[in-house]
Amino acid sequence: MGQWQGADSFHQAQGKALLVRLPDGRRFVRFEDFRVTNGPDLYVYLSGHPSPRTSAQLHEGGAFEVAQLKGNIGNQNYELPAGLDVSSVKSVTIYCKRFSVLFGSAQLIARP
């Protein structure tokens, strides 16, 4: 399990992040005991960078927009597209598209 880390002293995040594969082959990014500073236009991204802290680092090595964040508190699941190659994904990030600001990230660890 990856632990959420805030991007800076104002943008905080906590909880766990997992990459889950179900027996039927579907894959999800799961947030457990999740909490992040609330903000506008927040989205969930996958990144090839292990712990991005800037917009440039997020997009380094490729970034994939998963979905708009469902809420800033609580357990959440985000289904990933069937054809998405996650072999180079190293982290999940909460990103404000409007202001190009990271709120937090967690290294992704697969759960069998």
Average pLDDT on 38-45 reads 98
Strand partners, 46: 64, 92
Instruction: Specify the 3-state DSSP secondary structure of 68.
Output: strand
β-pair type (63-68, 42-47): antiparallel
Q: In the chain, how many domains are there?
A: 1
CA separation for the pair 76, 24 (Å, rounded) = 20
For residues 45 and 95, the answer to whether their CB atoms sit within 8 Å is: yes
pLDDT band (50, 70, 90) for residue 111: low
pLDDT over 90 percentage in the chain: 89
Reported pTM: 0.94
Range of the domain at 82: 2-111
pLDDT band (50, 70, 90) for residue 60: confident
The model's pLDDT over 5-24, given as tens digits with 9 standing for 90+, comes to 999 999 999 999 999 999 99
pLDDT, residue 61, reads: 75
Which CATH number goes with the domain that contains 15?
2.60.40.200
Q: Is the pLDDT of residue 57 over 60?
A: yes
